Amino acid sequence: MDAFVLQILNGLDKGGSYALIALGLTLIFGTLGVVNFAHGALFMLGAFCAVTLKKILTISKQVKDESITFFDAFKEVPYLEIWFGETGAAIIDYAVPLSILLAIPVMLLVGLAMERGLIRFFYKRTHAEQILVTFGLAIVLQEIVKAFFGANPVPMPPPDLLTGSADIGAAIGLGDSVIYPWWRLTYLLFAAVIIAAVFCFLQFTTFGMVVRAGMQDRETVGLLGINIERRFTIVFGIAAVVSGLAGVMYTPIVPPDYHLGMDFLVLSFVVVVVGGMGSLGGAVTAGFLLGILQSFASMNEVKEILPGIDQIIIFLVAVVILLVRPRGLMGRKGVMES
């Protein structure tokens, strides 16, 4: 039972990141009808927003180390600490959550620029060409990041307060073996908040209503005198922000490197397909479902019976779903039927 709960928890945070990326992918696909292979790169860019902020915050100068008296020793002390003392240190400690503030405008700009500068010329082209051009863009983005930040993963520790593990088992009365890192719990919460925010935005605002209407029938909405294209551009920006934020918050879990995006892209595409092309609810459900399935498959008991299953479970599920339920779990009729 303990192990069971633990695996579900483990799956949830992974599922959270899948769900966030898949949500963005589906938003773009449902509104603009574009298959965006550069979406993983947006996730990666988000992660590197956090890296950049951390680098900026820790710009240091060399200060004489007073604790060593035998010889002149120097240590690097960030300016923030010199100027603001304790407060400065705290700001550096919270670099990752603070990066959210940086990532939102940056990712919004990146998203808008991408849509206006490239994607909009591809609405009328075939899906194959959309895949190819965004694949090219993904390579370009990740190589640029590699040129600036190097090829090695950059470790990004979470704030001190959230470094340890939560004793979930004791809290829900299951025994001591169920422990779970605080940061993963935070991530899960964060993912839930973002997902809820996106759904509320689409469900309860006029803007969201127009977007939903546009997803149903773009032409009619256009005929009603609404500039649907501009709204869709903004939706693209929002999708970029969503996956960027997913990237920012994921940095303490997996140290980001330049091909982080590609690794997640393939999986999140599979998630989208399993959930059903163009279905937001489907993307989120499938994200969490596949995350949990993956963590169950990596249990030792399962691996003993079916070796290697943890490596392929997601793809296997995708194959089965696509063959049995061609539209995915919650796919709408008429979306990508051909």
Partner 1 sequence: MITATPRKDLLLMGIFTFAVLTMPIWLAPIGASYPDLLQRFAIFGIFAIGFNILFGLTGYLSFGHAAFLGVGSYTAVWSFKLLSMSVVPAVIFGVITSGLFAVVIGYISLRRSGIYFSILTLAFAQMSYNLAYSVLTPITNGETGLQLSLNDPRALDSLVGVAETSGIPPTNFFGIEMSGYSGFYFCAILMIIGFYISMRIFRSPFGMMLRAVKSNSNRMSYTGLNMRPYTLTAFVISGMYAGLAGSLMAVTDPLAGAERMQWTASGEVVLMTILGGVGTLIGPVIGAGVIKYFENIFSAINENVLHGIFDFLPEVLQDGAVAVLSLFVGEGWHLTLGMLFMLIVIFLPGGIVEGFSRIYERIRNKNNSTNGKADAVGSAKVQPGE
The residues that touch partner 1, with contacts defined as CB under 8 A, are 35, 118, 121, 125, 127-129, 131-133, 135-140, 143-144, 146-147, 262, 266, 269-270, 273, 277, 307-308, 311-312, 315-316, 318-319, 322-323, 326, 336, 338
Q: Which residues pair with 74 in a beta bridge?
A: 64
Closest CA to 181 of 159, 160, 166: 166
112 or 118: CB nearest partner 1: 118
Distance in Å, CB of 209 to partner 1, minimum: 28
Q: Which residue has the tokens 């060593």?
A: 68
Distance in Å, CB of 21 to partner 1, minimum: 15
Secondary structure element (H or E) that encloses residue 98, with its range = helix 95-117
Secondary structure element (H or E) that encloses residue 215, with its range = helix 206-216
Distance in Å, CB of 136 to partner 1, minimum: 3
Coil/strand/helix, residue 61? strand
Cα 157 from Cα 263, distance rounded (Å): 21
Closest CA to 280 of 211, 230, 217, 228: 211
Cα 16 from Cα 32, distance rounded (Å): 24
75 or 127: CB nearest partner 1: 127
212 or 303: CB nearest partner 1: 303
Q: Which residues pair with 292 in a beta bridge?
A: none
1 or 323: CB nearest partner 1: 323
52 or 298: CB nearest partner 1: 298
Cα 18 from Cα 318, distance rounded (Å): 14
81 or 257: CB nearest partner 1: 257
Q: Which residues pair with 268 in a beta bridge?
A: none
140 or 209: CB nearest partner 1: 140
Distance in Å, CB of 37 to partner 1, minimum: 9
CA torsion sign for 100, 106, 109, 115 is negative
Cα 239 from Cα 290, distance rounded (Å): 21
77 or 131: CB nearest partner 1: 131
Distance in Å, CB of 217 to partner 1, minimum: 21
Distance in Å, CB of 138 to partner 1, minimum: 8
- Element counts in the chain: helices (H) and strands (E): 15, 4
How does DSSP assign 177-195, residue by residue?
T--EEHHHHHHHHHHHHHH
Distance in Å, CB of 270 to partner 1, minimum: 6
Distance in Å, CB of 227 to partner 1, minimum: 25
